[in-house]
Amino acid sequence: MLNQIHGAIKIFAGNSSQKLAKAICSQLDLELGQLEVGKFSDGETSVNMKESVRGCDVFIVQSTNTPVNDNLMELLLIIDACKRASAGRITAVIPYFGYARQDRKAHSRDPISAKLVADILQTAGANRVLTMDLHSSQVQGFFNIPVDNLFGMPVLTRHIKKCGEPKNLTIVSPDTGSVVRSRAMASKFNAPLAIIDKRRPQANVMEVMNVVGDVKGRTCLMLDDMIDTGGTICQGAQALMEHGAKEVIACCTHAVLSGPAIERLSNSVLSKVIVLDTIELNESKRIDKIEVVSIADVFAEAIERVYTDLPVSKLYD
């Protein structure tokens, strides 16, 4: 049990992250807070706190994945309930931060949804945000409160090394936007880096153009922050095999897996897809190719450090 620094520490969870929150509590030797989240007959979300949070350091674990708006509304109402119940500090623990992709005006008259969500979270009463692998790191600047953006790459790297590092390994960035994290992983394995140069004519439609780097006869490990519809990863894997790769493994932090993703992954040339549990996968998405790795220990340590006022920067090393 954590020594009391501020008010008593309490961890609550919305409906989207129950399993992860329980795993985090197990790591910290804490009981998950009693909270009831349901629906009124007209579909409105109802929240009922079942225990006192007065003066407490409250952590609310809730990913804003599908159904995004329902999960976001749950999080906002839980934050508001804690604020109105006189919680000391409120940290929104959002393993997967929905709307992070809408971080700029791509076209005239577009909203900047990530900024709007940041404003709403602060208005609701969040004093801090703890998340992982924001799609755009600039989203941190949309907040006027501390934001800790943890990295999933070290967790994936440790898991792969623990299971046996593949021989003749090449780390592959599926696009130019993932080069920084892919280069960081390549340095961990002391492996070469390759990049897939692609063209995206429209959202969720990808046309592979070229593979930059030598992948012939090598085991290719593709790293991305998320897999949504699966088009980028699956077409990228196909291009790597056509360029002579021996095997292609994919890994990502967020398994969004929307639309045709499961069918695409099942029928792809990928031998394995390693994902973190920032998003809970239902049984229909747990195919043999997908391997889930828990990040409960990372969030548990981050929560402990936030509560005890220790630097979170250690988790970035």
Q: How far apart are CA 159 and CA 165, in angstroms?
A: 9
Query: pLDDT higher for 175 or 250?
Result: 250
Q: DSSP label at 32?
A: B
Indicate whether 317 pLDDT > 80. Answer: no
CA distances from 156 to 101, 135, 275 (A): 22, 17, 8
Pick the closest to residue 270 from 253, 256, 250 (CA basis). 250
- How sure is the predictor about 193, in pLDDT bands with cuts at 50, 70 and 90? very high
| pLDDT confidence of residue 314 | 86
| pLDDT confidence of residue 200 | 62
Q: How far apart are CA 291 and CA 269, in angstroms?
A: 16
- How sure is the predictor about 198, in pLDDT bands with cuts at 50, 70 and 90? confident
- How sure is the predictor about 136, in pLDDT bands with cuts at 50, 70 and 90? confident
Q: List, by residue number, the catalytic residues.
A: 198
For the chain, the average pLDDT equals 94
Task: Count Cβ neighbours within 10 Å for each residue of 32-69 and write b for 16 or more, e otherwise.
Answer: bbebebeeeeeeebebebeeebeebbbbbbbbbbeebe
Q: What is the pTM of this model?
A: 0.93
Residue 208 contacts residue 196 (beta carbons within 8 Å): yes
